[in-house]
Amino acid sequence: MSVFRQLKVIKLLKDICEEKFHEDVVVEQYGFSIVISPRNVSEIKDVVRELAKKERFVIEWERREREPERMELERELEYEGP
């Protein structure tokens, strides 16, 4: 497939996404790439949290939020000693 044809396909996909999902996502094109990002990230996080509870897995951003708290608790326990 020629470069111009590839760009036409990408442009068409971008236009379709913008047309159908313009309220929910932001669609950007960078050369041969299309970046689709949600407009309301907190809403997406809530959906992922609910899914995580059902499937019993830990979400990476929650792990990062909890990591400093866990490290602080470990330091406190070390200072208290046995």
Cα–Cα distance for residue pair 65/31, rounded to 1 Å: 35
Q: Reply yes or no on whether the pLDDT at 10 is more than 70.
A: yes
pLDDT for res 65: 65
Q: Domain boundaries in the chain? A: 3-39, 42-80
Per-residue pLDDT tens for 34-47? Answer: 888 888 878 777 87
Three-state DSSP class for residue 77: helix
Predicted confidence band of residue 81 (pLDDT cuts 50, 70, 90): low
Alpha helices in 3-55 (DSSP H): 3-21, 41-55
Q: Judge contact between 24 and 31, C-beta under 8 A.
A: no
More confident residue, 65 or 38: 38
